[in-house]
Structure 1
C-alpha cells in the first residue's frame, strides 16, 4: 500500500494515523519531497479525471486561466501540491479521505469513528 500525499497536509496525516491504527503500514510518498512518478500520475488522472486536481487550493487560485485550462498531468507535474490528497494505491486506488474512502481501507473500524 502506498499513500501519496503531503507531509504537511492535515488530511494526509489523519489518513496515515487511521491506517496505521488499523494495522496497515503504507509507504508514504510526499509529492513535494519525493515527487510522483509519471506512471502514478497517468493512473491518477485516468482514474480521477475530474478530481485529480485540487481546485480549492491556494495554489489553484494563484494560477492563470491558461494554466487552469492546461492538461491535468502537466499541471500536476509543474505544481505537485495541486494533487487532491491523499491518493492511496493498493489493489485499487482512491483519492481523498471521505467516509466512503475510509470505509474502503478501514472496513468496519471506519464506521465506529
Structure 2
C-alpha cells in the first residue's frame, strides 16, 4: 500500500491522488496538518530524502514568512521542531510505499516510472 502525505487543500496532492485513482493504485492519504508526523518519522524521511533541508519547500509562503533565525535550523532537533510546528513546509506530496521507498513531488512521468505504469 502506498501512503501519500500532504495537505487536502493542496492542488499538487489532489493531482497525485487523481493520478493514483486513474491508474488503480491503492493508497492512503494522510493530511499532515491533521496528523502531524512524529519526530521519529521526520528523521526517517530526512534520512531517505537527503536531509531536512531537502524536505522543505523554500518557495512557500510559510517559509518566506518565517523569521530568519527559524530558517537557519542548525540541528536535527531544530528541524524537527520547525516541521512539527509548520508541517505545511514539507514538500508535497510525500509518497511512501511499503518497500520504504520515499519520494516527494508529483509529475505524471515520475509517477509512471515509480509505479511501473506504461513502462
Equivalent positions of 1:89-108 (< 5 A) are: 89-90=96-97, 91=99, 92-98=101-107, 101-108=110-117
Contact 1:76–1:83 (Cα < 8 Å) also in 2: yes
Residues of 2 paired with 1:60 and 1:107: CA distance? 34
Equivalent in the alignment of 2:85: 78
**Could you tell me how far 1:53 is from its partner in structure 2?**
0.7
Gaps of 5+ in 2: none
Gaps of 5+ in 1: none
- Partner of 2:54, secondary structure, is coil
Equivalent positions of 1:1-113 (< 5 A) are: 1-48=2-49, 49=51, 50-70=53-73, 71-90=78-97, 91=99, 92-98=101-107, 101-109=110-118
**Could you tell me how far 1:84 is from its partner in structure 2?**
0.4
Farther off after superposition, 83-92 or 66-75:
66-75
- Partner of 1:18, secondary structure, is helix
Residues of 1 paired with 2:23 and 2:34: CA distance? 26
Residues of 2 paired with 1:57 and 1:7: CA distance? 16
TM-score where L is the length of structure 1: 0.86
Residues of 2 paired with 1:37 and 1:25: CA distance? 24
